[in-house]
């Protein structure tokens, strides 16, 4: 297999792995959008953010995408009035996670489209390899 096609496949595969991980993190954020602390003074779920890195694969001589870090979003928690909640403060407010479902859905859609674009690139590379082999017969 020519090195250019191997590089294209490796780049696309690394992109798919990275976006697949991002989709898992977004799903975790959405699942915990209402997860509060179970006692007063505790912190609710904190939104997680994936950071990517551009890493050189010396064997292929190309740059691949990898997960650099899984960070926590340091933005403030939302306050919701619920004096009967076990985590309510003296005024009756409960700190809610800093997860915005609309933002998470947009992130999910973007990750899904990036994943699909990488999948399409792999299909195109496979078709080029197949046609090249057909020409060599």
Helix (H) / strand (E) element for 2: namely none
pLDDT digits (tens, 9 = 90+) for 47-105: 999 999 999 888 888 899 999 999 999 999 999 999 998 888 899 999 999 999 999 99
Q: What is the per-residue pLDDT for 1?
A: 46
Helix (H) / strand (E) element for 39: namely none
Helix (H) / strand (E) element for 6: namely helix 3-31
For residues 104 and 98, give the distance between their C-alpha atoms in angstroms, rounded to a whole number: 11
For the chain, give the percent of residues with pLDDT over 90: 66
For residues 115 and 117, give the distance between their C-alpha atoms in angstroms, rounded to a whole number: 5
pTM of the model: 0.85
For 92, residues 6+ apart whose C-beta sits below 8 A from its C-beta are: 81, 82, 83
Q: What is the per-residue pLDDT for 5?
A: 82
């Amino acid at each position: 297999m020519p090195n250019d096609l191997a590089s294209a496949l490796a780049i696309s595969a690394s992109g798919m792995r990275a976006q697949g991980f991002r989709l898992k993190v977004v799903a975790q954020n959405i699942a915990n959008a209402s997860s509060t602390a179970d006692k007063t003074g505790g912190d609710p779920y904190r939104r997680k953010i994936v950071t990517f890195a551009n890493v050189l694969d010396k064997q292929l001589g190309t740059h691949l995408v990898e997960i650099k870090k899984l960070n926590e979003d340091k933005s403030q928690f939302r306050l919701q009035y619920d004096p009967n909640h076990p985590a309510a403060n003296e005024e009756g407010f409960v700190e809610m996670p800093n997860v915005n479902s609309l933002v998470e859905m947009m992130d999910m859609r973007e990750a899904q489209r990036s994943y699909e674009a990488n999948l399409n690139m792999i299909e195109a590379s496979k078709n080029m390899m197949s046609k090249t082999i057909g020409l060599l017969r």
